[in-house]
Structure 1
């Protein structure tokens, strides 16, 4: 009975093994790339997708904040106009009250005919009455105009305030969406890094995980290796983690940040293990090489030709690294020990860091 059970199990295992071998990416051609290690395409792609979504959500949130600020300023401007209209109407009402009180003190309670009979100069009295009537009419018109303006401003103010509140509500929703995406991205980033660490420990990498890169349309032949960054350890700086001096320029970026080829060239090395963790070396015209180290995943294979700005991997903190960053070197050979200062090298090619 045992023998009968083992044979179907063995056949199943062989079939699974054949399926895995058929499905795995092709090796890059160097001994450092073996199957079975590294980040699955789904995790790398998920990080890239969430990275793009988080950037888009941040842009939408910041645009909403700016729009809400403009709407809030408009509401405040209308409130000031409304206050000014109220003050002007109050002054008009006080003037009307003074005129009415003056008329009453001068016999305003008697009919106009009686005023004419008792007046020393009826013509002068009529002129005074006309002036008062005209002033009263002007005041009534001003009050009516002011009331219309006040009503219009009140409507505009209410409309602006409602629009601002609507924007604030939308911005809260955008903030929640942004926070949710960033939390998912952070989780996916560390999943990717965990698998990168496993690759480094094994000393072997899978084939390239091809990422869907957005249209870039770079017009310059040289670009920075990452789009958004903070410079950290510089070339030649000292530190306990380096044998002598730092041989490159570090870019502090989160895990999963797309890493770009700085210029056109050919991938001459993709390897895992050692102090640099997962690394890529690209050969450029003119006898120079660029190295991209401490990666979490690679998007190219050895022998691939790359263009300026093309995604070649995702940043991480593999190998001898204290935190997420990209270690970038410029060399005169593909090997360690031939590095030159990458900052002036890029500057001479039109890239200021």
Structure 2
């Protein structure tokens, strides 16, 4: 009986537990523009941001090495030119020496110095002639010795410059390989990031902000910057084409996928969206009643309602939505909605930012 009561009590406890679990609500899916990104999302975005910086550093190192190699090459070429000039000068001295020797042979007839002394009109005349010849011979020998030393010195300088140039060429080859490897890895990571962004846009639901280590900008809330640090301007405000229903409403910045996108000024995030022709986009509200839009992104690093500072990374560029290639579409508006855009280039120029 005791064992039966114990089993009945255990069954009652299990039934109560199952009832409680059944009554708990299931986890609701994340709302668009809320929450934070998953660990995998954050890791991939951070990897792309890190690789982007490494690629920029590798490019700067490669360019610096290439310029140094060119400078060393020029120095080696200058040394070779000096060496050629010295060789020509020595050849001329040798020619002069030969001319003097031939003249001496013709005038002396090959007689020894003692015979000249016997046949000379006076010892003083002979001594003067012999002294003049000795001085000329000594001057030529000194010039040849001096120029031989200069030639050896220039040859050593040329060899040293050539060695430095070759060492820089080898280093530059290594830097080029490192740069290519980083860019290849970046391209693969950016492709994965874009794939995740495309999936989010297709689902029409943002995954929430991923949190990246922010750079030190040193900017105050009253300062303004360009939306990307390094770029090429492409489609401009007001341009026409088959891609737009009327006119282009913003300024496009041609940048690779994963490029950090910056808030141009202090403001608040009033819109985060992951669907429609702009793909993944962010709209900020700034002081003075103006708004800026950042579209075709591959990731978001802010959530709706957040306050941002000038230069803060708010996302990463991509090619989501109605986009023909990786770029950032940037707009300046008088309302948060499409159709209220003003020329973003002149708008930024009025705030001290020249594109």
Q: What does residue 17 of structure 1 align with? A: none
Within the candidate set 326, 329, 353, 2:331 is matched to 329
Q: Which runs of 5+ in 1 are unaligned?
A: 1-13, 15-20
Whether the 8 Å CA contact 1:39–1:297 is kept in 2: the answer is no
Contact 1:316/1:326 (<8 A) preserved: yes
1:240 Cα deviation from its structure 2 partner: 2.8
Cα 1:281–1:231 change in 2 (3 A) is: same
Residue 331 of structure 2 contacts residue 341 of structure 2 at CA under 8 Å; is this kept in 1? yes
Per the alignment, residue 70 of structure 1 pairs with 71
Tell me whether 1:237 sits opposite 2:239 in the alignment. yes
Larger Rg: 2
Aligned length: 329
Residue in 2 aligned with 1:199? 200
Q: CA deviation at 1:35?
A: 7.8
TM-score (norm 1): 0.88
Offset of 1:32 from its aligned partner? 4.8
Deviations 1:267-311 (A, max 9, x none): 112121111111111110011111101100011111221111111
Equivalent-residue separation in structure 2 for 1:243 and 1:39 (angstroms)? 38
Per-residue deviation, 1:238: 2.5
| Other-structure match for 1:215 | 216
Contact residue 33 and residue 304 of structure 2 kept, 8 A: no
> Is the 8 Å Cα contact of residues 38 and 205 (structure 1) preserved in structure 2?
no
Judge which range, 78-87 or 234-243, deviates more: 234-243
Change (3 A) 1:96 1:120: same
**Is the CA contact 2:35–2:209 (under 8 Å) kept in the aligned structure 1?**
no
Partner of 2:108, secondary structure, is: coil
* Closer/same/farther in 2, CA of residues 186 and 206 from structure 1, 3 Å limit: same
Distance in 2, Cα, partners of 1:80 & 1:137: 28
Instruction: Tell me what 1:3 maps to.
Output: none
- Partner Cα separation in structure 2 for residue 189 and residue 89 of structure 1: 63
Deviations 1:35-78 (A, max 9, x none): 88897111111111111011100100000010001101111111
Q: CA deviation at 1:245?
A: 2.4
Equivalence map 1:126-145=2 (5 Å): 126-145=127-146
Q: CA deviation at 1:108?
A: 5.6
Structure-2 separation of matches of 1:328 and 1:161: 49
- 1:179–1:31 distance in 2 versus 1, CA, 3 Å: closer
**Partners of 2:350 and 2:33 in 1: CA distance:** 34
> Shift of the alpha carbon at 1:121?
3.5
User: Equivalent residue of 1:40, what SS?
Assistant: helix
Q: Deviations over 1:8-56 (max 9, x none)?
A: xxxxxx9xxxxxx8xx9xx6xx645478889711111111111101110
Rounded to whole Å, the distance in 1 between the matches of 2:83 and 2:267 is 66
SS of residue in 1 equivalent to 2:283: strand
CA contact (8 A) 1:291 1:329 kept: yes
The counterpart of 2:300, out of the listed 293, 298, 301, is 298
Runs of 4+ deviating beyond 6 Å? 34-39
Query: Could you report, residue by residue, the CA deviation over 1:160-193 in whole angstroms, capped at 9, with x for unpaired residues?
Result: 1011001001111111111111111111111100
Counterparts of 2:215 and 2:111, CA distance in 1? 88
Q: Give 1:241 shift.
A: 3.0
Q: TM-score, normalised by structure 2?
A: 0.87
Distance 2:227 2:234 in 1: 14
Look up the match of 2:283.
281
| Cα offset, 1:213, TM superposition | 3.0
Aligned equivalent of 2:112:
111
Q: Does the CA-based 8 Å contact 2:37-2:210 persist in structure 1?
A: no
> 2:258 is paired with a residue of what secondary structure?
coil
**Could you say which residue in structure 1 is the equivalent of 2:230?**
228
**1:41/1:209 contact within 8 Å kept:** yes
